[in-house]
Amino acid sequence: MPSSPAASPAAPRRRPGGPSAVLGLLGELLITLGVLLGLFVAYSLWWTDLVADRHADTVAAKVRQSWTAPPATRPGSDAKPAPPRPFEVGDGIGFLHIPRLGKDYQVLITMGTDTDVLNQGVAGVYRSPYPAAMPWAKSGNFAMAAHRDGHGAKFHDLPELRRGDRVVVETRDTWYVYTVDSTLQRTSKYDVDVTAPVPAESGYRRPGRYLTLTTCTPAYTSRYRMAVWASLTRTQPVDAARDVPAELR
C-alpha cells in the first residue's frame, strides 16, 4: 500500500504590529486630531459669536432702557441734574454705527479693553496707556477696540473702511458724526501710540476731537494691529422722536 504524501508545512503566522499597524494607528490619530481641530474652530468662531451676540444684545437693551429714565438730580429742592459718575469697566457708554458695514450695523460701546470685556461682543474703550477722551470732551481721542474674529467679531470688516466714510457714535443725548481720514493697515500689536491723543501716523498735527478704531490683523490671527482714524464732523441732539442722522438713513 503506497504511503500517504507528507503533509505540507503550515504557513508561518504573521505577527501583529509592524509598519502597517503603525500607519493605521497614525491615520486614526490624524483623523481624531482633525475632528478636534474642527470642533475647536467651530467653538472659537461660531459658538463664541453666538454667545457674545446674545450677551451684547441683553446689555444693549438695558442701556437703552436706562436712557428712558429721567436723569438723576442732586438732593434738595433745586432739583439740579447730578454730575455724571465716571464710567467703570463694563459700563455701557453708547453705540457705534458704521454705514459702510451695513445699514443695521450697531455695536455696543463699553468701558475697557480687557479680554473679558471684548469677549462680550462689544467695542471697548481704551483706559491705558492713553485714557480715551469721551466724544463730548472738547478735545482728545475716543479710541476703542473690538475683536476681528470670534466673540462677536464686531470689527471683522474694519479694513473695508475708506477715507470719507462716516462713523456715528450714539449716546443718550447726542449723535456724534465722524469722517474717516486715514487708515493704518498694519502695525505692531504693541504699537500703543495709535491711540494717543494725536496719533503720529494719523496725519493729524494738532489736538482735535478724534475717533480711533483698532483690531487685530490679518484675519484669524493676532499678529498685527490695524487702526482707522476719523475726526468729528458734526453733532446732532437726540430728540424725543429719536430721529437718526442723515448718515444712517
Q: Average per-residue pLDDT in the chain? A: 87
Contacts of 23 (CB under 8 A, 6+ apart): none
Q: Per residue in 19-72, pLDDT tens?
A: 777 666 666 666 666 655 555 555 556 788 989 999 999 999 999 999 998 876
- C-alpha grid cell for residue 204? 493729524
Q: Which conformational region is residue 121 in: left (phi greater than 0), alpha (psi within -120 to 50 degrees), or beta?
A: left
Task: Give the pLDDT mean for 114-125.
Answer: 97
Question: 178-236: per-residue pLDDT in tens?
Answer: 999 999 999 999 999 999 999 999 999 999 999 999 999 999 999 999 999 999 999 99
Of all helices (H) and strands (E), which one includes residue 110? strand 107-111
Considering the chain, what percentage of its residues have pLDDT values greater than 70?
76
Residue from 235, 104, 103, 102 nearest 177 by CA: 235
Residue-level pLDDT at 80? 62
Number of H helices, E strands in the chain: 3, 8
- Name the pLDDT band for 125 (thresholds 50, 70, 90): very high
Which one is catalytic: 60, 133, 216, 230?
A: 216
Q: Is 216 annotated in the active site?
A: yes
Domains and CATH numbers, the chain: 51-68+91-248 (2.40.260.10)
What pLDDT sits at residue 60?
96
Instruction: Please list, in sequence order, all residues whose beta carbon lies within 8 angstroms of the beta carbon of residue 176, skipping any fewer than 6 positions away.
Output: 135, 136, 168, 169, 170, 232, 235
Residue 110 has pLDDT above 60, yes or no: yes
Assessment of whether the complete model's pTM goes beyond 0.75 = yes
Instruction: Write out pLDDT tens, residues 128-141.
Output: 999 999 999 999 99
